[in-house]
Amino acid sequence: MTSRFPGLGFTPPFKSYSGYLDAKNKNGTSNWKMFYWFIESKSEPEKDPLAIYYAGGPGCSGVGEAFEEMGPFYVNYGGDSLYENVYAWNAKANFLYLDSPIGVGFSYDTENHDFSFATDDQTAEQNYLALFDFFTRVAPEYATRDFYLTGSSYSGVWQPMLADLLVQSIVKGEFPNENFKGFAIGNGYLDVNDLNNALVLWDAYHGKISLSDWEEMKEICYINGVMKLWDLPEAEGIDAYMFYEECWGYQGDTAKEKKTRSKHSAMKKFKKGFEKTRLFYNKPNQDPSVNTAKLLNVDSSDNEFGYPCWQYGSLSNYMNKAEVQTVFQIADDWRVKSGELREWNECSNLINTIDQKYTHNYPTMSPFFDRIFENWKKPLKILIYNGDVDTVCNYLGDQKFVKRLAKEHDFVESDRTRWFFRGLTAGWQQRYAKNQIIIDVLTVKGAGHFVPNDRGGASVQMITAFLNQNPPNYDKTLIDPTPNPIEFDKMDKSSSKKSINQSIFSFIALFIYFYK
């Protein structure tokens, strides 16, 4: 069990564990070590289902994503302390966060510390072997528990591939836990052609390109039903992961533009407090792009105004602290590389870069869904959800993929209806069903690529409903829609005082923004 995290000013109402899973390679050796962080449910951990979470990238840390999106803690400005995420996804589920593939986060190869070779096939194998080890060696008590796969972005590739392997193994009686119940993919990379084709339409109807340009692109670039060649304008200052965010860093070409944008950037004084953001991650000669929208989460009851953009850099500072790595029980041979301390990065510099070494084997996930539908004869729930203002993995492309897949397999299509959070429209939902298999397709209104950042309350209601109901009812509130933050421990006044000071600082920044 992990001890108390440094800078945490309260006692969590759940236990957590961390360590390494053996992802033995084909030679049978254990040189692949996959790091995990296991967080128990805040409700009934001895009964609640297990959700395994994979981040995207490819090459980004699932544990890092937990600290940024749906995990129980967020990192305060500067990376010295933590505060509560009141919309953490472990409300009624146990969560296993994994750093996958090997070479990402705290995962590593014991024989080759520079290991960065990764493919879709190899990653699926590593994920399967790591789960096998979890259910047999690390937590055999969970071998009879219902379990689901979850994740976002490029896990839209890994999840169907892993689910296919699990189905084959369970049918043969080889996997230690036969209670596989389904998987949930957020803003998934399901089909390259569908996403590319749909993005042109999405851009046209969101004012990013003109309709005349759209018509010309269809005439010139549309070959045999697929956009073969296109170069959509990526305007500076636009966040591809959340179209409506205000991004600054690029201030425009003219002095007038620079002055105007700088004047209205409430968080400009924070610019020195962070190094990179997802939008320009590891791209040379680019100023960091930051936004102010994430400072104010209107659906959140926490006092830190959601997840501000500067916390990406703060997370790296926190995770690289020796005392934090001690709590996580990070292996000594990970910490030291060639006689020097290794630096933790949210996304692998070797795998997730412009000239990334990752090999994409499959442009579409159709063959894996086909095999799952053919081989699985038990109830199975699949959730495909998208923030509707994400342009990286847009909702139109993913919904087109599911609709075609459902038609090919004779699924019955239901009407498209709204779903609600706190009595307000949270998005739209549509169900496809055949025999014992259900596919729910959801949009999350106003969310971008990282749904839990933008719509924390709606996201935890959605995932809790998916993991705990059969069939899911996304309008039903299984959790407190306005949770009460945990009080600070009286014995830890230093952390409490620090967090309160940071809260006041954030409030002052917002005040300046709205009244300047």
Domain ranges of the chain: 16-194+312-503, 195-303+504-515
Average pLDDT over residues 431-459: 93
**d(Cα 156, Cα 185) in Å, to the nearest integer?**
6
**The token pair that represents 17 in the structure block:** 């564990």
Residue 23: helix, strand or coil by DSSP?
Answer: coil
Separation CA 96–CA 507 (nearest Å): 34
Chain length of the chain = 516
**pLDDT band, residue 235 (cuts 50/70/90):** low
Catalytic position from the list 16, 133, 265, 449: 449
Task: Give CB contacts under 8 A, 24+ apart, made by 418-422.
Answer: 419/462, 419/474, 419/475, 420/475, 421/299, 421/455, 421/457, 421/458, 421/461, 421/481, 422/299, 422/457, 422/481, 422/482
Is the Cβ–Cβ distance between 287 and 280 less than 8 Å? Answer: yes
Cβ-Cβ contacts under 8 Å for 119 (sequence gap 6 or more): 358, 359, 361
**% the chain with pLDDT above 70:** 74
C-alpha to C-alpha distance for 239 and 371, rounded to whole angstroms: 36
Q: Which CATH architecture has domain 16-194+312-503?
A: 3-Layer(aba) Sandwich (3.40)
The phi and psi torsions of 130 (rounded to 5 degrees) equal -65, -40
pLDDT value of residue 260: 35
The mean per-residue pLDDT over the stretch 170-196 comes to 94
Residue 186: name the closest of 431, 49, 387 by CA: 387
Q: pLDDT value at position 320? A: 94
Is residue 252 a contact partner of residue 261, using CB atoms and an 8 Å limit? yes
Q: Which pLDDT band, with edges at 50, 70 and 90, does 224 fall under?
A: low
pLDDT top residue among 312 and 117: 117
| DSSP state letter for 191 | B
Percent of the chain residues topping a pLDDT of 90: 48
Least confident stretch, 241-255, 265-279, 405-419? 265-279
CA distance 248 to 237: 6
Q: How far apart are CA 78 and CA 336, in angstroms?
A: 24
CB 31 within 8 A of CB 109: yes
What mean pLDDT do residues 275-296 have? 37
Which residue type occupies 159? Q
Q: Is 499 a catalytic residue?
A: no
Helices 155-171, 120-133: axis angle to 10 degrees equals 50
Contacts 24+ apart (CB under 8 A), 498-501: 498/7, 498/9, 498/76, 498/80, 498/81, 499/9, 499/76, 499/81, 499/83
- Cβ within 8 Å of residue 504, ≥6 positions away: none
Q: Is the pLDDT of residue 475 over 70?
A: yes
Q: What is residue 375's predicted lDDT score, i.e. its pLDDT? A: 97
Told to judge if 390 belongs to the known catalytic residues of this protein, a careful annotator would answer: yes
- pLDDT value of residue 48: 98
pLDDT band for position 248 (cuts 50, 70, 90): very low
- 104 has pLDDT over 60: yes
Per-residue pLDDT at 184: 98
Q: Which helix (H) or strand (E) holds 164?
A: helix 155-171
**What pLDDT shows up at residue 203?**
76
Query: Cα 492 to chain center, whole Å?
Result: 31
Which helix (DSSP H) or strand (DSSP E) does residue 97 occupy? Answer: strand 94-98
Q: Which of 153, 289, 499, 506 is catalytic?
A: 153
CA distance 286 to 273: 16
Cis peptide before 101 (omega within 30 of 0): yes
pLDDT averaged over every residue in the chain: 80
**54 band by pLDDT with thresholds 50, 70 and 90:** very high
**pTM, to two decimals:** 0.82
Instruction: Give the range among 173-182, 304-313, 471-480, 485-494 with minimum mean pLDDT.
Output: 304-313
153 in catalytic set: yes
Helix axes 155-171, 366-375, angle to 10 degrees: 30
Rg of the chain taking only CA atoms, in angstroms: 22
Give the C-alpha separation, 60 to 352, whole Å. Answer: 7
Top pLDDT among 313 and 166 is at 166
Is the pLDDT confidence value at 213 over 60?
yes
Residue 491: the pLDDT is: 47
**Residue corresponding to tokens 């104010």:** 296
For residues 496 and 128, the model is more confident at 128
Candidate ranges 25-34, 149-158, 252-261; pick with highest mean pLDDT:
149-158
